[in-house]
Amino acid sequence: MAEDPAGVTRENDGLETRPVVYICRTEEFSACHRLHSPFLTDEENLELFGACNNFHGHGHNYKVKVTLKGKVDPITGILINLGDLKQYMKTAIHDLMDHKHIDKDVPYFKDKVSSAENIAVFIWKNIGRELPRPELLYEVHVTESDKNSVYYRGDVE
């Protein structure tokens, strides 16, 4: 194997290989929500969600870590410009959710429970639309509190 100055490795068969990296960026937003399913009675919602079913909602300071996976560009030495990723996350997350009541202000949650799980899926879809190369999106990690977080990697069954 020989490596050229741009970081490209050529295998014995002449095929080009490049390092695959995982790059992450974390952003924060503050929002409130109410865990309440329209498919359950008020009593069932209260039993299932407890204090998180408070009629007026409750708030969190969310942390969102977006991970991209891909090959390092041999010319630039990077996977993505982090300034660009910051802007994509601002558009896909912060602008839509910061200081909002998720259930009332974010149309996606009109008919979905605003659980951390569904918030992670929502962010995955939004960030995927912003990225010029959505195939790089590897994982969305939403931290709702010090004790609760969700990872989503785009899997569906």
Active site (catalytic) residues: 52, 99, 144
- Do 128 and 137 form a contact (C-beta atoms < 8 A)? yes
Output DSSP code: residue 114: -
Give the whole-angstrom CA distance, residue 44 versus residue 115: 16
CB atoms within 10 A of CB 35: 19
Give me the count of residues in the chain.
Answer: 157
User: How many C-beta neighbours within 10 Å does residue 75 have?
Assistant: 9
CA distances from 123 to 62, 89, 97 (A): 12, 9, 10
Sheet holding 58-71, edge to edge: 100-101, 20-33, 58-71, 137-143, 149-152
